[in-house]
Amino acid sequence: MKQATLSLNLGTKKTRKQVFLEQMERVVPWDALVELIAPYYPEGKTGRPPFSLHTMLRVHFMQQWFSLSDPAMEEAFFDTPLYREFAQLQEFGRLPDESTILRFRHRLEKHKLAAQILTTVNELLIAKGLLLKVGTVVDATLIAAPSSTKNKDKTRDPEMHASKKGEQMYFGMKAHIGADANSGLVHAVRGTSGNVHDVTEGNSLLHGEEVLAFGDAGYQGIEKRPDAKADVTWHIAMRPGKRRALNLDNAADVLIDQAEKIKAGIRAKVEHPFRVIKRQFGFVKVRYRGLKKNTAQLVTLFALSNLWMVRGKLMGAQG
């Protein structure tokens, strides 16, 4: 199917959403992703013809970019012509309802396609020389979940748990990621309940080809765990209290402090994808019940954050 060119000419001054969607139109590998999903998408030989796979994939991605639930996405088509145009929907034609949008998401979940979407995106980035395999930085962030029991089941999600960070308690899940030490692009994602310690997932976030790995002080002792890989050298941050105790009048301690600064500069790369999904895409609270559904969404979000982070280089390469 030949894609229509996205014009988005709705005025003389472009909004930030217009600019954003024009950029995503250019950098998302649409054809490769459609080819990936096509074997699992109905052809509509009987009954009402389904919406095109191109359309449904664009709808699914807009939900991630603009933090829209299924009902909110359906309603947005009536309010925002920009969304209809990006989804390649006719101006006065049929629009996907929330049930159609839900079924498409369930299809992706059923066939575990979120992980394959991340792989497809990363294959493009590797081919462009933007994702290297020498080193990995690991980290985790807490994602809040509703703690109220005012719902149909009158219970909190049993797969979400409380976790303490500093002096504050949080209820939800954790997103654990492994990112390229050079670019900060994500290559591995794991979703767990909020009470799972970071270090237990650290080694599972390695892709197997790196020789160096970096983590903050929460990963102390990771190289001694049963799942540690012998050919990977870990560089873990010194505990804050121990670093504060360094005597900077001592030459040896000065060198240690300088080494910690270098490690901190490398570890900072892993904060970029967290910032993109939380600040750029607005993902600050889980939308579904259960780890499986929320982890699938996280994997998709990080695939899209990779494209967002290197959009300038990808568009530059297109000329």
Q: Is there a domain that residue 243 lies in?
A: yes
**Is residue 205 in a domain?**
yes
Q: Is residue 171 included in any domain, yes or no? A: yes
36 and 171 housed in the same domain = no
Domain count, the chain: 2
pLDDT at residue 48, rounded to an integer: 60
Examine residue 217 and state whether it is found in any structural domain, yes or no: yes
- Please indicate, yes or no, whether residues 146 and 104 belong to a single structural domain of this protein: no
Same domain, 282 and 139: yes
Q: 160 and 233 share a domain?
A: yes
39 and 83 co-located in one domain: yes
Same domain, 142 and 208: yes
Same domain, 104 and 37: yes
Q: Which is higher by pLDDT, 109 or 154? A: 109
Residue 301 belongs to some domain of the structure: no
Residues 168 and 277 in one domain: yes
For the segment 268-297, the average pLDDT, to the nearest whole number, is 96
Asked if residue 231 and residue 268 are part of one domain, the reply reads yes
Has residue 231 been placed in a domain? yes
Q: Specify if 127 maps to a domain.
A: no
How confident is the model over 83-108, as a mean pLDDT? 92
> What pLDDT, on the 0 to 100 scale, is given for residue 168?
82
* pLDDT score for 6: 59
Q: Is 36 in the same domain as 146?
A: no
Indicate if 202 and 278 belong to the same structural domain: yes
Range of the domain at 99: 16-111
Contacts of 13 (CB under 8 A, 6+ apart): none
The pLDDT-based confidence of 243 (bands split at 50, 70, 90) is very high
Residues 145 and 209 in one domain: yes
pLDDT tens for residues 22-59?
999 999 999 999 999 999 998 655 556 689 999 999 99
In a domain, 21, yes or no: yes
Tell me the pLDDT tens digit for each residue of 175-228. Answer: 999 999 999 999 999 999 999 999 999 999 999 999 999 999 999 999 999 999
